[in-house]
Amino acid sequence: MKRAILGPDHLLPAPSVPPPWPGREVHLDGSVTYVRDTPATGPDAEPALYVHGLGGSSQNWTDLAGLLAERLDGQAIDLPGFGRSEPGQRYTIPSFAQRVVRWIEHSDRGPVHLFGNSLGGSVSVHVAALRPDLVRTLTLVSPALPFLDFRRSLQGRMLPLLAVPRGERLAAWRLAQLAPEVMAQQVMESCVADLTRISDQRRQEALEEIRVRYEAEHYAAAYVRTFRGLVASFLRAYLPGSGSLWRLAAAVRAPTLVVGGRQDRLVDVRVAPQTARVIPDSRLMLLDGVGHVAQLEVPRLVARAVLGLLAETDGVGTALERPDMAG
């Protein structure tokens, strides 16, 4: 593990708040996967794929994908049951990873620069470990890799729900009790350390995403079943066997950037440094005053760290800056 380096800010576009990138429905293995495209603005851009976290969607990558469009021809997918993708049959890390693999194969764009936030981070680690031929570099933002002290996560309050028969119905009932505006505010407060960094446009888009969830009958079940699958993967990580996410992380060979926020309220803040220690070719950037979704809260800083990763893999990293906030 080493500290991340930052690419020059002037290589990024001028600050702006782009609208969500256009999306499309793709029929893949008998169901619809929703994909957003961020067209490349540079002639030599390489393919990238962005994978969101639990309860998120492809819109979580709007700013970062736009900032990196000179270097990366981006696509962001909605995992089964989330965003505008149809529900899946299973909601486990391996099943999500298989969908990501199938999309890369279907789109014939691999190997890609793979990005994952939270749940998407654990999914991306699974893909990078088992299908190294499909991954050029790996960027993990607050990856939800295993930890056992759920007092360090706001989502620990959901654990009793997993023991309730038909907990999905209870979750759906709870969802119906909250106005979309209240739910959107609660989600934002749990994910973001400094809400002043989030523009009015992004807040409005988050509200519209919440309304989409309210209209999707499958959403509560998808959320609860995915959380159950994530917790199960955490427990298996500390047992013998090849399915451990930590063992998979140790098998990753792609150059990797790990970004963590010191004010993360959803994933134990010790996970990002541990992830960087386990993955052999890794760089770590820990950010003070940043929460669970650094790509939303400080997208420009994350984009500069990605440029640093790309420069290193191109063999020109020595001229770049190693920031003090990198751990």
Q: Select from 2.60.120.1600, 3.40.50.620, 3.40.50.1820, 1.10.10.10 the CATH code of 2-165+225-319.
A: 3.40.50.1820
pTM over 0.95? The answer is: no
For tokens 């764009």, what's the residue? 109
CB atoms within 10 A of CB 241: 8
Tokens linked to 300: 């420009």
Domain ranges (residues) in the chain: 2-165+225-319
What SS3 class is residue 239?
Answer: coil
Question: Per-residue DSSP letters for 159-216?
Answer: HHHHTSTTHHHHHHHHHHHS-HHHHHHHHHHHH-S-GGGS-HHHHHHHHHHHHHHHH-
Each residue's pLDDT tens digit in the chain (327 positions)? 999 999 999 999 999 999 999 999 999 999 999 999 999 999 999 999 999 999 999 999 999 999 999 999 999 999 999 999 999 999 999 999 999 999 999 999 999 999 999 999 999 999 999 999 999 999 999 999 999 787 778 887 777 777 667 777 777 777 778 888 998 999 999 999 999 999 999 999 999 999 988 888 898 889 888 988 998 899 888 887 777 999 999 999 999 999 999 999 999 999 999 999 999 999 999 999 999 999 999 999 999 999 999 999 986 544 456 665 544
CB 321 within 8 A of CB 5: yes
Are 54 and 227 spatial neighbours (Cβ–Cβ below 8 Å)? yes
